[in-house]
Amino acid sequence: MKKKQRASGAQNQGNSSTPRNPSVGVWIVSAIAVLALGVWSYKRSSTSAAPATAYHPRPPGTITFNKHIAPIVYRNCAGCHHESGPGAFKLVSYEEVRKHASDIVSVTKRRYMPPWLPEHTGPALADERRLTPEEIGLIQQWVAEGALEGDGSDSLPTPPPVQEWQLGKPDLIVELPQAYTLRADGKDVYRNFVIPLDQSERRYVRAMEFKPNSKAIHHIFVKFDRTHRSRKLDAEDAEIGFGGMSPPPTVESPGGYFLSWQPGRGPTRSPEGLAWPLEPRSDLVLQAHMQPTGKQEPVKPQIAFYFTQTLPTNTPVKVGLGSFKLEIPPGVNDYTVEDSYELPVDAELLAVLPHAHYLAKEMHAFAVLPTGEKKPLLDINDWDFNWQSDFRFSTPVSLPRNTRLHMRFIYDNSDQNLRNPHQPPVLVRYGSQSTDEMAEMWFQLLTHSPSELQALLADYDKRLIREILDYNSMLLSQNTTNAHAHIQVAKALITMGRKQEAIDHLRRGLRADPSEEEGHYQLGVLLMDSDPALAQTAFQRAILINPENFQALNNLGLIFLHFKQFSEAGAAFEKALALSPNDPTILQNIDLLNRTRSAPTP
Amino acid sequence: MIHSFRRIWAYRSLRELAFVLVLLVFLPSRVLCATYDCLERDGKASSIDPFRNQGSNATVFVFVRVDCPISNRYAPELNRIARLFSPRGIRFWLVYTDSSTTVAQISQHRETYQYSLDALRDPDHQLADRCIVRVTPEVSVFRRDGQLVYHGRIDDRYVDFGRYRAFAKHHDLEDTLTSILKGTSPPPSSPGVGCAISSYP
């Protein structure tokens, strides 16, 4: 054996021009190269896309439910996933959470739960329901290691209490008088529930809480109707409420406010000094989106109102950007809608509300400041109609005058969009059915003074009127007998001083639908000076349709006064006053009547 | 040398024989002849081997959970399919795999969702493993000859949690049962969407 080794050594020495083993120099160079590569790749990985907040695994076996997981679950999940909550199952005890461990890992990793559409890009949003990468990582590691409970030395935090009403005893509880029965299966159901409120005077609401009392309600919008139109629609059939996503235009949110509810959402509190008015003789209209659960569900929700005597010191304004002119061809997966509006005054942005139907996939709201700086406000990269909501900023966002607010939505009308209600896809236009589409980004703005508020309202009004004119003219081009569109066009034309064109549209609208109360009223207003007799007929028709139209009664009184029919005038004014107590306009007219009556006859 | 070699060989073959005998006796009785707690439609409880109570044409196992919203949403559709195919020699079973769900809860659940199917409990997930199901709701269809011809989703309405079509495009369970009756090929097995049967991934 020794002989062999010596022979190979001698062989190496004798053949240095063709070495069998690399020389020392090559080894050194290779080592340096490897070292350099190691340093380069380490530096690269530490400055790469991996976020600074990525999860750092804990030592194995140290994560327990009691110490680490329960606080996460109680803070983010148990709000819905408790005994009487909207969640399908409870996630309060260790056993309950352990039972669903696998699913909890999948849904949190995907950020399907907790449900929260906006990305983490714009200014901080209030009540954000979002797990940190740390929390998601802890859950994953906990489950991977067998979901340990932990021993008694880790004191379990208290799960969130389940209360009757979270803000204490309400001032007013409104309930659907009779339960609506949602069918067991089929598509999602959109229905509007009408509840007359017996309020005889205006109240200011400082907070509101909605209780679905059913797992079938997916979201609602709270609106009011000061006319009887909703009631009439409700009464048209035996079923409670009336269907569809398109209640009449008399159904509105109060002033500049958004009032909505989604599972997990607690009470809605008005910011300081911004209590909103609940008008007398309003009907509450709950626009509900419900999802069949596999069995018939009785739906009997409740709303609690909390009032304040403190009058609001300011009024927010809702500015809506978007488009009525959507026309999304089938197969197109990146149809884009863009719109913008320049602020005429300084303002604070309080909240935003994006709205679209099933084809929207991305939604973006941003501001371009006068300096040119682009400021993201809200980004949603995977729109889910089921989780639509208004989003309040933790701190109002200050926007100086001449800031331009922008919206940009992208729609997918291809068959790859599994939420597409049309299979195969078809051309989709603006409309209020779930099979139509919408593009609306609402901004809730607060101005700093009454004069700035007026300036914003006036400026935005001009824009709104142009939009209403555009949109309704488009509707009329598709259907000349659309009475409502005629009346909307007429109202827009009135504000632009185009009286004769307005009268023409009102007449055409009323021919198409004589029950359009608003049409009769507006016609009366336009004809009051030029043709009081015709105006009288118009107002009387409006009152016949809606006996509570106090404005029509007031104007009728004025016409009777003009014709010196004093007792008829008095009766009309009295009726109007009963419907609108302390109304300064009506009181002035009564005074005028009395003075005219008692004036000596020439 | 040869003499001891033969002895060793003989000993080894005895061991192997014993092993095979054990397999033949115990293993099939554990897997192939397994019985499950059964709750029949009329509320009667018993212990039953579903593979000895098959449909004349096929047997369908429907895996559900009392607290899975997706599974529950399918109750009317499952009842419809059962009503359609039961008269045609197809036997349906609901299978509850959650060990913490009591018989009373199963009874309550069936009443609430108006299920017309008999129910089995499978807390050890033996049947689930044999049926190759992972989530609720998923179904498995066995032909009369014992062959598993389909396992997975009922239809393609659900694509993921929170992502569902207005209407299903493919009705896999129904198509499978029709194919069995007609003697044609069933659709390929496709995974369902819903709550995991196993607590751990």
Q: What is the mean pLDDT of chain A?
A: 88
Asked whether residue A110 carries a pLDDT value surpassing 50, the answer given is: yes
Say if residue B85 is exposed, middle or buried (CB neighbours under 10 Å; 0-12, 13-18, 19+).
Answer: buried
Nearest partner of A546 among A195, A226, A76, judged by Cα: A226
Contact A99 B69 (CB under 8 A): no
Alpha-carbon distances of B16 from A277, B8, B23, B78, rounded to whole Å: 88, 12, 10, 48
3-class DSSP state for residue A308?
strand
Q: Which of A140, A185, A433 to mutate to probe the B interface, most B CBs <10 Å?
A: A185
Contact in structure between B35 and B48 (CB atoms under 8 Å):
yes
Q: Which token pair is A298?
A: 């009785």
Q: Which of A90, A103, A423 to mutate to probe the B interface, most B CBs <10 Å?
A: A103
Distance CA(B155)–CA(B195), nearest Å, equals 16
Nearest partner of A554 among A571, A531, A533, A538, judged by Cα: A571
Q: What is the pLDDT of residues A399-412, one digit of tens each?
A: 999 999 999 999 99
Distance CA(A576)–CA(A559), nearest Å, equals 14
Q: What is the pLDDT of residue A23?
A: 64
Contact in structure between A297 and A182 (CB atoms under 8 Å):
yes
Mean pLDDT of A249-275: 88
Residues 6 or more apart whose Cβ sits within 8 Å of residue A575? A550, A553
The residue whose two tokens read 């028709």 is A541
End-to-end Cα spacing for chain A: 149
Print the SS3 string covering A50-103: CCCCCCCCCCCCCCCHHHHHHHHHHHHCCCCCCCCCCCCCCCCCHHHHHHCHHH
Tally Cβ neighbours within 10 Å of residue A128.
12
Q: Please tell me if residue A109 touches chain B, with a CB cutoff of 8 Å.
A: no
Q: What is the pLDDT of residue A14?
A: 38
Alpha-carbon distances of A601 from A193, A322, A564, A596, B190, rounded to whole Å: 56, 60, 12, 9, 94
Give this complex's ipTM.
0.80
Asked whether residue A28 carries a pLDDT value surpassing 80, the answer given is: no
Distance CA(B48)–CA(A130), nearest Å, equals 47
Distance CA(A168)–CA(A462), nearest Å, equals 43
DSSP state letter for B189: P
Q: Please tell me if residue A542 touches chain B, with a CB cutoff of 8 Å.
A: no
Contact in structure between A442 and A221 (CB atoms under 8 Å):
no
Mean pLDDT of A6-31: 50
Side-chain-facing half-sphere of B75: CA atoms under 13 Å: 23
Contact A419 B76 (CB under 8 A): no
CB contacts, 8 Å: B163 with chain A: 418-419
Q: What is the pLDDT of residues A507-533, one digit of tens each?
A: 999 999 999 999 999 999 999 999 999
Q: Chain A: give the shortest CA distance to residue B101, in Å.
A: 11
pTM for the structure as a whole: 0.80
Q: What is the pLDDT of residues B168-193, one digit of tens each?
A: 999 999 999 999 999 999 999 999 99
Q: What is the pLDDT of residue A355?
A: 94
DSSP state letter for A488: H
Greater confidence, B38 or A520?
A520
Q: Which of B64, B65, B66, B67 to mutate to probe the A interface, most A CBs <10 Å?
A: B67
- For residue B135, the chain A residue with the least C-alpha distance is A103
Asked whether residue A39 carries a pLDDT value surpassing 70, the answer given is: no
To 10 degrees, what angle do helices A566-579 and A584-598 make? Answer: 160
Q: Please tell me if residue A110 touches chain B, with a CB cutoff of 8 Å.
A: yes
| Partner residue facing B199 (CB), from A101, A113, A293 | A101
Asked whether residue A35 carries a pLDDT value surpassing 80, the answer given is: no
Side-chain-facing half-sphere of B170: CA atoms under 13 Å: 15
Distance CA(B22)–CA(A100), nearest Å, equals 38
Contact in structure between A417 and A316 (CB atoms under 8 Å):
no
Mean pLDDT of A121-146: 94
Q: Please tell me if residue A184 touches chain B, with a CB cutoff of 8 Å.
A: yes
DSSP state letter for A385: G
Asked whether residue A386 carries a pLDDT value surpassing 50, the answer given is: yes
Q: What is the pLDDT of residue A8?
A: 39
Distance CA(A78)–CA(A92), nearest Å, equals 6
Q: Chain B: give the shortest CA distance to residue A584, in Å.
A: 53
Give the rounded distance of the alpha carbon of B139 from its chain centre. Answer: 7
Mean pLDDT of B63-92: 96
Nearest partner of B58 among B190, B191, B197, B182, judged by Cα: B182
Q: What is the pLDDT of residues A402-449, one digit of tens each?
A: 999 999 999 999 999 988 989 899 999 988 787 899 999 999 999 999
Considering only residues 83 to 102 of chain A, which have any Cβ-Cβ distance to chain B shorter than 8 Å? Answer: 88-89, 95, 98-102
Q: Which token pair is A72?
A: 């996460």
Helix residue ranges per DSSP H, A93-246: 94-99, 101-109, 133-144, 229-235
Q: What is the pLDDT of residue A13?
A: 39
Q: What is the pLDDT of residues A332-346, one digit of tens each?
A: 999 999 999 999 999
- For residue B156, the chain A residue with the least C-alpha distance is A418
Asked whether residue B97 carries a pLDDT value surpassing 90, the answer given is: yes
Q: What is the pLDDT of residue A12?
A: 39
Greater confidence, B40 or A105?
A105
Q: What is the pLDDT of residue B53?
A: 76
| Partner residue facing A295 (CB), from B75, B163, B195 | B75
Contact in structure between A316 and A452 (CB atoms under 8 Å):
no
CB contacts, 8 Å: A143 with chain B: 200-201
The number of helices, as runs of H, and strands, as runs of E, in chain B is 6, 11
Greater confidence, A27 or A76?
A76
Q: What is the pLDDT of residue B34?
A: 67
Tally Cβ neighbours within 10 Å of residue A245.
17
Q: Which helix (H) or strand (E) holds A494?
A: helix A483-495
Sheet holding A360-368, edge to edge: A335-342, A404-411, A360-368, A374-380
Identify the band that residue B18 occupies on the pLDDT scale cut at 50, 70 and 90.
Answer: low
